């Protein structure tokens, strides 16, 4: 029984890590997407104003040209990196990780109330299979995943466990 408890804790920690990492990436990609749309909107709506005001001076022509180039690059990056698709993908991963973490919580409660070794073994095998499936889904490859972000998420998971937000 104790090996199931220890192993399920490890799975639980990993699922919790993946859930929080997904949340962090969703926030980062959403900010990038929102900023890109906002900048594009400002330059589109500001074109008439810019044409009237900035194009009357030599410096204004250069400033507006620079702004237009930057906006074009950022918009192209948003499209090329398929930011909305990335957000959707990380939302799916967060959902899967969350479901797995809740399943592990249920399993850990079962450990406390059941003496049926067959049921426990079957449930644990199901958890391992869900983890294996989730691990293939969750390759943790994204240009925004850095050592710093991973360490921050690890720290948050550990803090959540210590504070009792997650079951030990």
Which residues form the domain of 84?
Answer: 2-162
168 in a domain, yes or no? Answer: no
Assess whether pLDDT exceeds 70 at residue 159. yes
- CA angle 45–46–48, rounded 5-degree value: 95
Q: Could you report the per-residue pLDDT of 22-70, keeping only the tens digit for each?
A: 999 999 999 999 988 888 877 776 666 666 666 677 787 777 778 778 8
Rounded Cα distance, 146 and 63, in Å: 34
Q: Could you report the per-residue pLDDT of 97-137, keeping only the tens digit for each?
A: 999 999 998 998 888 888 888 898 999 898 888 888 777 66
100 in a domain, yes or no? Answer: yes
For residue 90, the model assigns a pLDDT of 93
29 in a domain, yes or no? Answer: yes
Is pTM, for the whole model, over 0.85?
A: no
93 in a domain, yes or no? Answer: yes
Cβ–Cβ < 8 Å for 22, 94: yes
The count of structural domains within the chain is 1
167 in a domain, yes or no? Answer: no
- The three-class DSSP label of residue 144 is coil
102 in a domain, yes or no? Answer: yes
For the stretch 126-132, contacts whose Cβ atoms lie closer than 8 Å and that sit 24 or more positions apart, written own/partner, are 127/8, 127/11, 127/100, 127/103, 128/11, 130/99, 130/100, 130/103, 131/11, 131/14, 131/15, 131/100
Query: Which of 139, 154, 162 lies closest to 24 in space, CA to CA?
Result: 154
Query: Mutual orientation of helices 2-45 and 58-80 as an angle, nearest 10°?
Result: 150
């Amino acid at each position: 029984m104790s090996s199931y408890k220890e192993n399920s804790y490890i799975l639980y920690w990993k699922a919790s890590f993946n859930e929080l990492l997904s949340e962090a990436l969703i926030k980062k990609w959403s900010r990038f997407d929102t900023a890109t749309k906002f900048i594009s909107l400002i330059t589109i709506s500001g074109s008439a104003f810019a044409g009237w005001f900035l194009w009357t001076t030599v410096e204004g022509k250069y400033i507006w040209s620079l702004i237009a180039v930057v906006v074009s690059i950022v918009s192209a990056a948003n499209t090329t990196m398929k930011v909305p698709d990335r957000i959707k993908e990380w939302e799916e991963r967060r959902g899967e990780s969350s479901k797995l973490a809740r399943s592990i919580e249920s399993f850990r409660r079962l450990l406390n109330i059941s003496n049926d070794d067959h049921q426990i073994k079957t449930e644990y095998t199901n958890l391992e299979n869900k983890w294996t499936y989730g691990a293939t889904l969750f390759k943790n490859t994204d240009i925004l995943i850095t050592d710093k972000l991973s360490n921050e998420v690890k720290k948050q998971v550990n803090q959540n466990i210590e504070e009792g937000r997650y079951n030990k």
